[in-house]
């Protein structure tokens, strides 16, 4: 009963001092349970282990309560998919804990995940941090961890289970409504920080389908296809024999694929499918495919045959070798599309042709257009 009273007190404190997080906390039932080692949430309720929570100070418990509501807020509950559960939880905590510390909420619990350098290198997103983590999370004692003494406080339970895609989307939509309402309430109280307001704006911003963006980007590069088989009749009366327009043509295209390990199989499969669709729908004269990490690892060229994706590489990341390689090989496309996570500072000089960056992480490019794949939030 004492722990329940302290949790209720923490929720009240959040409502008064940090109403955005307090409103979210009030929307989630809290239960005391020894079925979890520390704390756990599935987006519908939060479980707290009494043995873990009782020694915590009131400030640490406040931090933990706010921490728990952040997992469904960032959609961690719904977006894990086939990714490693421990690593995904670790990456989520790497995003949440610095944010709560910056917001001045309670006190960070020693032993949790706090690595601002990792967060920066991961582009500030859970997906980005996850991609930087080693493949096998084992600490020096053989348990789960990364040998840095930091581990997640809690467990992100699987909220998807046997749910259909429609049911999962419904849960995500419900949480977006909760986030919007919490933000509005906090703003009316004059207690919505600039950082939270930016996050809410990003979360609620209508999602752009990157596949549609890529198609429109490439269609813009089309030029009129002219033929001498049928002369342009507008100029025949003037004694001028000029070609007529027979349709629209798309010249050579280049697709560069980041194979440094930050692009998962799901993204590769989607990207490969879109390249085939471009081949079928837009009929470019050639499709150049470059695989790169910190250097160009492999190159393929397709004219009449349907493109086949065969990734090579697996090192670091650098973008300048792509454009240097194309220049050396006299590859002069009408456009270049790069599939990457944008976690790199080596962009090189902007080429003469337009470039579209398709990224599975939040990031920026000094030139070209950027579009994000599905699920890129916090």
Specify whether 298 is located in the same domain as 252.
yes
Same domain, 188 and 243: no
Domain assignment present for 377: no
Residue 378, domain member (yes or no): no
Q: Residue 234 — pLDDT band, cuts 50, 70, 90?
A: very low
Residue 254 in any domain: the answer is yes
Instruction: Give 137's pLDDT tier (boundaries 50, 70, 90).
Output: low
- Residue numbers of the domain that contains 98: 2-204
pLDDT average, residue stretch 361-374: 86
Of the chain, the percentage scoring pLDDT greater than 90 comes to 47
How many distinct structural domains can be found in the chain? 2
pLDDT confidence bin for 225, thresholds 50/70/90? very low
Report if residue 110 sits inside a domain.
yes
C-alpha to C-alpha distance for 353 and 335, rounded to whole angstroms? 5
Compute the Cα dihedral for 95, 97, 98, 103 and give only its sign.
positive
Instruction: Specify the pLDDT at position 146.
Output: 56
Q: Is residue 287 part of a domain?
A: yes
Flag whether pLDDT at 246 surpasses 50: no
Cβ burial, residue 330 (10 Å; 0-12/13-18/19+): exposed
Cα–Cα dist 286/223, whole Å: 15
Give the CA distances from residue 201 to residues 179, 181, 196, in Å, rounded to whole numbers and listed in that order: 10, 13, 8
Cα–Cα distance, 77 to 156 (Å, whole number): 6
Choosing from 204, 232, 255, the residue where a domain stops is 204
The residue among 163, 95, 164, 101 whose CA lies nearest residue 125 is: 95
Q: Which of 164, 185, 204 is the last residue of a domain?
A: 204
Q: What is the CATH number of the domain that holds 311?
A: 3.40.50.410
pLDDT at 104 over 80: yes
What order of strands is seen across the sheet that includes strand 155-156?
30-32, 46-48, 39-41, 155-156
Question: What digits encode the pLDDT tens for the residues 262-295?
Answer: 777 778 888 888 899 888 888 899 999 999 999 9
Question: Is 360 inside any structural domain?
Answer: yes
pLDDT of residue 140: 40
Question: Residue 150 falls within a domain, yes or no?
Answer: yes
Please write the tens of the pLDDT for every residue from 26-65: 989 999 999 999 999 988 899 999 999 999 999 999 999 9
Confidence band (pLDDT; 50, 70, 90) for 179?
Answer: very high
181 and 90 share one domain: yes
Q: Of 154, 169, 204, which one is at a domain's C-terminal end?
A: 204
Does residue 127 share a domain with residue 262? no
Q: Are residues 252 and 156 in the same domain?
A: no
Say yes or no: 173 and 73 in one domain: yes
Same domain, 136 and 215: no
d(CA 14, CA 23): 8
Residues 187, 283 within the same domain? no
Question: Is residue 245 in a domain?
Answer: yes
């Amino acid at each position: 009963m004492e722990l329940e009273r302290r949790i209720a007190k923490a929720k009240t404190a959040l409502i008064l001092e940090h109403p955005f997080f307090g409103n979210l906390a009030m929307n989630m039932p809290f239960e005391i349970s020894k079925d979890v080692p520390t704390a756990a949430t599935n987006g519908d309720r939060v479980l707290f282990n009494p043995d873990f929570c009782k020694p915590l100070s009131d400030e640490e418990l406040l931090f933990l309560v706010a921490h728990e509501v952040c997992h469904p807020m960032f959609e961690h509950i719904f977006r894990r998919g086939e990714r490693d559960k421990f690593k995904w939880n670790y990456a989520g905590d790497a995003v949440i804990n610095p944010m709560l510390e910056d917001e001045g909420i309670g006190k960070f619990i020693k032993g949790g995940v706090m690595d601002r350098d990792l967060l920066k290198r991961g582009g500030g997103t859970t997906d980005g941090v996850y991609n930087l983590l080693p493949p096998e999370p084992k600490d020096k004692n053989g348990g789960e961890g990364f040998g840095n003494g930091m581990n997640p406080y809690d467990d992100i339970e699987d909220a998807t289970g046997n749910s259909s895609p429609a049911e999962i989307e419904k849960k995500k939509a419900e949480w977006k409504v909760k986030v919007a309402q919490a933000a509005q309430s906090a703003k009316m109280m004059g207690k919505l920080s600039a950082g939270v307001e930016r996050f809410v704006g990003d979360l609620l911003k209508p999602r752009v389908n990157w596949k549609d963006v890529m198609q429109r980007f490439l269609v813009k590069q089309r030029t009129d296809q002219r033929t001498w088989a049928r002369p342009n009749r507008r100029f025949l009366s003037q004694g001028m024999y000029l070609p007529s327009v027979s349709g629209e043509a798309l010249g050579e295209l280049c697709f560069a694929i980041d194979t440094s390990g930050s692009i998962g199989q799901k993204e590769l499969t989607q990207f490969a499918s879109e390249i085939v669709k471009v081949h079928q729908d837009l009929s470019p004269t050639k499709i150049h495919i470059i695989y790169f990490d910190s250097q160009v690892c492999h190159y393929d060229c397709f004219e009449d045959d349907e493109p086949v994706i065969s990734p090579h590489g697996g090192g670091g990341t650098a973008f300048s070798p792509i454009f240097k390689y194309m220049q050396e090989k006299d590859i002069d496309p009408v456009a270049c599309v790069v599939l990457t996570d944008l976690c790199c500072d080596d962009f090189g000089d902007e080429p003469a042709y337009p470039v579209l960056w398709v990224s599975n992480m939040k990031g920026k490019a000094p030139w070209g257009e950027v579009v994000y794949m599905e699920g890129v939030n916090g």
